Amino acid sequence: MNKIDVHNKALGVSFTNNGLAEVLVWAPKAQQVELCLNDGNTTIPLRKGEFGYWHETTDQLSPGDTYKFRLDEEQEYPDPASVSQPEGVHGPSQALDLLKFNWTDEAWQNLPLEDYVLYELHTGTFSEEGTFAGLEEKLDYLKDLGVNAIEIMPVAQFPGDRNWGYDGVFPFAVQDSYGGPKALQHLVNTCHQKGLAVVLDVVYNHLGPEGNYLGEYGHYFTDKYNTPWGQALNFDDAWCDGVRRYFTENLLMWFRDFHIDAVRMDAVHAIKDFSPNHILREMKQQVNELVEATGRTHYMIVELDLNDTRFINPLEEQGYGMDAQWVDEFHHALRVTMTGEDSGYYSDFSGIAHLAKAYEDAYVYDGQFSPHRNKTFGVKAAHNPGQQFIVFTQNHDQVGNRMLGERLGELVSYEIQKLAAAAVIFSPFLPMLWMGEEYGEPNRFQYFVSHTDPDLAEAVRNGRKAEFAAFHAQGEAPDPMDEETFQNSKLQWDLVQKGQHHILFRYYQTLLRLRRELPALKNLTRKNLEVSCDEARKTLTLRRWHGDQQIICLMNFNASAQPMALPSGGKTWNLVLDSAAPDWDGPQAAQPTAASGAQVTVQPESVVVYQA
């Protein structure tokens, strides 16, 4: 393992205490590298070091200055480790001293992972301003809602000013149209003052197509593997040491220089690495060293489509040590239960029986044959605690990758939305909300980009049409390049105080408060759980307990009222929540108390929660 100095970022430009610029770039393909200042009128040759690294220390580059690198006396390119691209992906890099920010979060301690309640958001569409500053204005709202960790979709510099973020091409640079690096530091500092953790989405499986200059410098990519989105990054082929260092330093930078509390690592199943020490495992080892040096806690959360506990098992068990993962299968089972969808990957899910299994086993497929994949899939996750699994009714993928970008509220009834929210929030896992779901935002979240290369823009536009050609009866896929597609995806904040939207918001507040206050819901011990379902009647009973407290959730996904039995055992059951109560604009409230073993009528598409 190439040990990295966890205290100082080495790649790119950093500044010493006496103001000198230390320049380091990995360019093994080059025979000569020069630092270009003053629009190329001043050049400083870099000295060649070992393993393809070029370096120099100079007093001619100051914080705020822009620069490029000239390779082999020919083309000039931005810095691969640039922290700021104020003129976009094709413009010069800007040198900044990230250590100069005046942090006031010394007292902040990251929340225990088991207490995380996540809220995923996209900076550009979350507020009218579409900036980190606009996001800051809504932090009190999020606190009032009851979430305590915001998860920000990727902010690495991408082409133009409209993008989901997964087309980033400068992993170290913070998107200029969002406010740039100083604004992100300010946001994180403010979040910590308000008791909110910050999770940042990072992409280490590919880079976007426009402004991607890394291949000019070094062997960042490999032909050994493919990804659905572009060339695979080189984590185990010739020259991979420099690539591994580049992305590990990037991860450490977010934690060290931006005080980010956790990262959500995009699609790690597309990170191909057959090295003896997988890159994720190496990253975790380096993060552990950083934690030991700083005393701050950081988590690594992965998006994983493999049902493979090796990723989330501890280092000492030869796992990769990831702290938690997204569990799409819980979403799929819940979605099929609600809507009956059966196309694509939904064809693997039977509905409520699989939802019951997801509650009990986290993975639905943990060794069974998967018809969609045409193979036996997954392993059991019996020994992994509840906080290692993040569940949701929707997220940016499950909404935005639909042709029209419909949110759940457009696909199911108001009553089902309330039932689904409780199904997630009262699960023995970490809940995540998707921005706007808490008040039933009707605006769709659609796929948008702002490529400046006309040919690439047209290719993306045509690719989107081709992807959904079979769905022509539903209409035309929105044009990803049209700014209106982006504007139509913004949240409508005036709705929060109106009608059913406000009722739904208060309902979500109540669910999250109950999760915090009731030990049986707060504690994520997966052993203290029983679940059963009736496939014919589309009902599910979830029972959880901690100490002397028992909670029973009676979920009815049927379009008609259903009788459901409370457990026997001599206890009196007291009503905690009824999504069908008039308070929540429902048709009829359940009885406030019920005897042990009693039958309770659960209204259509609703959930009743009792405590004993």
pLDDT tens digits for range 245-300: 999 999 999 999 999 999 999 999 999 999 999 999 999 999 999 999 999 999 99
Mean pLDDT to the nearest integer, 66-77: 97
Judged against a pLDDT cut of 50, whether residue 554 lies above it is answered with yes
Q: Is 401 annotated as a binding residue?
A: yes
The domain of 580 spans: 529-611
Half-sphere exposure for 13 (CA within 13 Å, toward CB): 29
Helix, strand or coil, per DSSP, at residue 299: strand
What pLDDT score does 166 carry? 96
DSSP 195: T
Residue 72 lies in a domain: yes
Judged against a pLDDT cut of 80, whether residue 543 lies above it is answered with yes
Bigger pLDDT: 468 or 420?
420
Q: Is 91 annotated as a binding residue?
A: no
Residue 165 lies in a domain: no
Residue 195 lies in a domain: no
Judged against a pLDDT cut of 80, whether residue 8 lies above it is answered with no
What pLDDT score does 448 carry? 96
Q: Is 65 annotated as a binding residue?
A: no
Among the candidates 98, 117, 138, a domain finishes at: 98
Do the beta carbons of residue 13 and residue 54 sit within 8 Å?
no
Judged against a pLDDT cut of 90, whether residue 230 lies above it is answered with no
Residue 159 lies in a domain: no
Tens-digit pLDDT profile for residues 401-415: 999 999 999 999 999
The torsion angle over the Cα atoms of residues 185, 187, 189 and 190, rounded to 10 degrees, is 160
Residue 70 lies in a domain: yes
Q: Is 331 annotated as a binding residue?
A: yes
Q: Is 328 annotated as a binding residue?
A: yes
Q: Is 51 annotated as a binding residue?
A: no
What pLDDT score does 10 carry? 87
Looking at every residue in the chain, the average pLDDT score rounds to 95
Q: Is 354 annotated as a binding residue?
A: no
Active-site residue 303, yes or no? yes
* CA dist list (Å): 388 to 56, 147, 364, 529: 44, 18, 15, 16
What pLDDT score does 1 carry? 44
Q: Is 366 annotated as a binding residue?
A: no
Q: What is the distance between the alpha carbons of residues 393 and 402, in angstroms, rounded to a whole number?
A: 14
Residue 224 lies in a domain: no
Q: Is 243 annotated as a binding residue?
A: no
Among the candidates 71, 98, 125, a domain finishes at: 98
Annotated active-site residue in 303, 348, 438, 441: 303
Q: Which residues pair with 551 in a beta bridge?
A: 544, 611
Closest C-alpha among 419, 401, 391, 396 to residue 328:
391
Tens-digit pLDDT profile for residues 494-540: 999 999 999 999 999 999 999 999 999 999 999 999 999 999 999 99
What pLDDT score does 4 carry? 57
Q: Is 598 annotated as a binding residue?
A: no
Q: Is 396 annotated as a binding residue?
A: yes
Among the candidates 41, 76, 98, a domain finishes at: 98
Q: What is the CATH number of the domain that holds 578?
A: 2.60.40.1180
Q: Is 399 annotated as a binding residue?
A: yes
Q: First CA to last CA across the chain, in angstroms?
A: 53
Q: Is 265 annotated as a binding residue?
A: yes
Mean pLDDT to the nearest integer, 422-447: 98
Q: Please, what is the Cα angle at 22 between 10 and 94, to 5 degrees?
A: 90
Total number of domains constituting the chain = 2
Closest C-alpha among 238, 163, 175, 245 to residue 204:
245
Q: Is 323 annotated as a binding residue?
A: no
Mean pLDDT to the nearest integer, 554-565: 98
What pLDDT score does 475 carry? 78
Annotated active-site residue in 34, 120, 236, 266: 266
Residue pointed to by tokens 């099929």: 336
Judged against a pLDDT cut of 60, whether residue 229 lies above it is answered with yes
Residue 83 lies in a domain: yes
Q: Is 253 annotated as a binding residue?
A: no
Mean pLDDT to the nearest integer, 456-477: 80
What pLDDT score does 205 carry? 97
Residue 493 lies in a domain: no
Q: What is the CATH number of the domain that holds 40?
A: 2.60.40.10
- The tokens for 78 are 């931005």
